[in-house]
């Protein structure tokens, strides 16, 4: 195989973290991928990868080659997209990174429609709540909630999320419904341990905005676990509407203290490197998520279920 193939196989193996995953992507056997990388190393006269039983680790020379090779392959992809844009439908593998809440509750159910609309696009979806670097993760586009910070990428707002305080009807029937923020001191609350100020919930007051410390009877680093704890009646939770909108519409959770809950919009944004937007596959995906989610379809109706 030629130099371009060995470079692509090496980059994909590093991106995917194993020869086996790269082999699946290219339709080769893991041993064939390993041999390709070995031949590349022999040609260069240096070791690029330290092979261990658990993962692929780059050598210093491998770090340099990987960064340059990936940039070259990205440039090739963008060049090919430029000259073939007018010839047909968007195509290629689209690498998407998304946070857990939006990724599981909204993006994943919508992707079959995207794939049906663009049959020549394949997707590689990664869902994680940790802060990621688009280049390190080899993602074409990421969808993240909250402040993005100072990043050397283009940030395009999709919609706003809002945090909602809610609890299961069974919990409220057993413990009563809080009528003021001060009442929360007598209630069990569920918090996300990865969030800053996890037990400090803001409320509107006559003086402006005040913060009340709630008692975290349960804490978890997983949003899905927090939702499950709340729907099972373990306590009161404050989470983004993108997560609790469904349980609220189904009557599994009931909003409380909505009249005083301080709602600070939490932006949901698409993030991508400047050059990637020229790729038709990235452009149509961005257009798809904006059209699909800019009106916040997860938001429950204000006149929907509420605590009595």
pLDDT digits (tens, 9 = 90+) for 87-129: 667 888 898 999 888 998 899 999 999 999 999 999 989 888 7
C-alpha span between 217 and 199 (Å, rounded): 10
The stretch 234-249 carries a mean pLDDT of 92
Q: Residue 304: pLDDT above 50? A: no
Percent of the chain with pLDDT over 90: 34
Domain 3-85, what fold? Arc Repressor Mutant, subunit A (1.10.10)
The pLDDT value recorded for residue 82 is: 64
What pLDDT score does 81 carry? 65
Domain with CATH 1.10.10.10 in the chain: 3-85
pLDDT at 54: 65
Query: Which has the higher per-residue pLDDT, 19 or 308?
Result: 19
pLDDT at position 83 over 90: no
Q: CATH for 89-160+267-293?
A: 3.40.190.10
Residue 192 and residue 223 in contact, taking contact as beta carbons nearer than 8 Å: yes
Mean pLDDT score of the chain: 84
* pLDDT, position 171: 97
Fold of the domain built from segment(s) 163-264: D-Maltodextrin-Binding Protein; domain 2 (3.40.190)
* Predicted confidence band of residue 227 (pLDDT cuts 50, 70, 90): very high
pLDDT value, residue 302? 46
Compute how many other C-beta atoms are within 10 angstroms of the C-beta atom of residue 156: 15
In the chain, residues under CATH classification 3.40.190.10 are 89-160+267-293, 163-264
Express each pLDDT in 138-166 by its tens digit.
688 999 887 776 666 788 899 999 999 99
Does 5 or 233 have the greater pLDDT score? Answer: 233
């Amino acid at each position: 195989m030629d130099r371009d193939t060995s470079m692509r196989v090496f980059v994909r193996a590093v991106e995917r973290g194993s020869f086996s995953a790269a082999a699946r992507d290219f339709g080769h056997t893991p041993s064939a991928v390993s041999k390709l990388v070995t031949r590349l190393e022999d040609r260069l006269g240096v070791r690029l990868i330290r092979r261990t039983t658990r993962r692929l680790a780059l050598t210093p020379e491998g770090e340099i080659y990987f960064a340059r090779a990936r940039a070259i392959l990205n440039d090739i992809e963008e060049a090919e997209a430029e000259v073939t844009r007018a010839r047909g439908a968007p195509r290629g593998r689209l690498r998407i990174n998304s946070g857990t809440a939006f990724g599981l509750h909204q993006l994943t159910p919508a992707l079959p429609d995207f794939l049906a609309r663009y049959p020549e696009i394949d997707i590689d979806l990664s869902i994680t709540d940790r802060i990621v670097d688009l280049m390190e993760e080899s993602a074409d586009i990421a969808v993240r909630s909250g402040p993005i910070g100072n990043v050397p990428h283009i940030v395009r707002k999709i919609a706003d999320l809002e945090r909602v305080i809610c609890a299961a009807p069974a919990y409220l029937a057993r413990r009563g419904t809080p009528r003021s923020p001060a009442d929360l001191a007598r209630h069990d609350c569920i918090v996300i341990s990865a969030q800053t100020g996890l037990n400090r919930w803001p409320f509107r007051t006559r003086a402006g905005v005040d913060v009340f410390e709630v008692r975290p009877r349960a804490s978890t680093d997983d949003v899905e676990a927090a939702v499950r704890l709340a729907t099972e009646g373990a306590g009161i939770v404050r989470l983004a509407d993108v997560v609790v909108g469904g349980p609220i519409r189904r009557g599994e959770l009931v909003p409380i203290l909505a009249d005083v809950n301080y709602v600070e919009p939490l932006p949901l944004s698409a993030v991508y490197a400047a050059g990637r937007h020229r790729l038709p596959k990235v452009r149509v995906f961005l257009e798809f998520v904006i059209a699909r989610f800019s009106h916040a379809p997860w938001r429950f109706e204000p006149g929907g279920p509420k605590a009595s």
